[in-house]
Structure 1
Amino acid sequence: MSASQAVFLPDNASLFTRLRVAGQCLKRLKDDPTNPTYGQTFNLSLNGKVYAALAQQFQRSEEGRRMLSNRPSLEARELDLPAFERLPEGTLGHEFARYYRDNKISPFETTLELKNDVDFLAKRYRETHDLLHVLTGYATDVVGEMELQAYVLANLGLRTTLFVLLNSTLGQLKAPQSGVERSEYLRRVWAAYRRGRASPRFLDFWFEEHWETPVATLRARLCAPAEA
Structure 2
Amino acid sequence: MIDPNTLSLPDNATLLTRLSVARQCLNVLRHDPANPTCGQLINICLDLNVYASLVQQLQRSEEGRRLLSERPSLQGKELDLAALERLPPGTLGHEFARYFRDNKISPFETTLELKNDVDFIGKRYRETHDLLHVLTGYATDVMGEMELQAYALGNLGIRTAAFILMFSTLEHLKAPRSVGRSEYLRRVRAAYQRGRASQQFLDFPFEEHWETPVATLSARLCAPAQRMN
> Normalising by structure 1, what TM-score?
0.98
Q: Does 1:174 align with 2:179?
A: no
Percent of pairs identical after alignment?
73
- Please list, as runs of the form range in 1=range in 2, the aligned pairs for 1:1-228 lying within 5 A after superposition: 3-177=3-177, 179-228=178-227
Q: Secondary structure at the match of 2:203?
A: coil
Q: Secondary structure at the match of 2:172?
A: helix
- Give the number of aligned pairs: 226
Structure 2 Cα separation of the partners of residues 106 and 5 of structure 1: 20
Structure 2 Cα separation of the partners of residues 58 and 6 of structure 1: 32
Structure 2 Cα separation of the partners of residues 35 and 150 of structure 1: 21
Deviation at 1:5, TM superposition (A): 2.3
The gaps in structure 2 that reach 5 residues or longer are none
Deviation at 1:37, TM superposition (A): 0.7
Task: Kindly report the root-mean-square deviation, in angstroms, between the aligned alpha carbons of the 2 structures.
Answer: 0.8
- The one-letter code sitting in structure 2 at the alignment partner of 1:121 is I
Deviation at 1:170, TM superposition (A): 0.6
The answer on whether the counterparts of 2:90 and 2:213 sit within 8 Å (CA) in structure 1 is yes
Structure 1 Cα separation of the partners of residues 100 and 6 of structure 2: 30
- The one-letter code sitting in structure 1 at the alignment partner of 2:9 is L
Deviation at 1:98, TM superposition (A): 0.6
The answer on whether the counterparts of 2:4 and 2:25 sit within 8 Å (CA) in structure 1 is no
- The one-letter code sitting in structure 1 at the alignment partner of 2:125 is Y
Deviation at 1:7, TM superposition (A): 1.3
Q: Secondary structure at the match of 2:128?
A: helix
**1:184-208, CA deviations, whole angstroms, 9 ceiling, x for partnerless residues?**
0111100000000000000000000
Structure 2 Cα separation of the partners of residues 28 and 76 of structure 1: 22
Q: Secondary structure at the match of 1:138?
A: coil
The gaps in structure 1 that reach 5 residues or longer are none
Structure 1 Cα separation of the partners of residues 39 and 220 of structure 2: 29
